[in-house]
Amino acid sequence: MPHKGYYGKTGVVWNITRRAVGVIINKQVGGRIKRKKIHVRLEHVRPSNCKADLKARVRANEDYKAAVKKGDAVRKTLKRQPGAPRPGSIISTKMAGGVIDLAIPQVDVSAGL
């Protein structure tokens, strides 16, 4: 089992043996990042899904471009757009029961109370 400092890290396979794989992992040591080579058994390794959404978006864009070329779809921009701001709302004080005063009374500690 890998040490807790390497758990959940993404790395690149650099060596393959019968029971384990060698993985290059970036580890922060102090203020710098070092490349570490560790061997991990196969039951502790799984494929990374970090590019899954990128690959799905590229595949969908290529399918859409092919449909536009055939004439089945209308041309549109395929770039990702930032999300719109959330709509505003009015908060009623009737449901909150009025204004709540959270003032904390100040006590003079030097008075010996």
- Tell me the per-residue pLDDT of 44-101, one tens digit each, with 9 for 90 and over: 998 888 889 999 999 999 999 999 999 999 999 999 999 999 998 877 666 656 666 6
The pLDDT, as a whole number, for residue 37 is 95
- The whole-model pTM stands at 0.53
Contact between residue 28 and residue 37 where contact means Cβ atoms under 8 Å apart: no
The pLDDT, as a whole number, for residue 95 is 60
Give mean pLDDT, residues 24-47. Answer: 93
Q: Does the structure show a pLDDT above 70 at 13?
A: yes
φ, ψ dihedrals at 21, nearest 5°: -125, 145
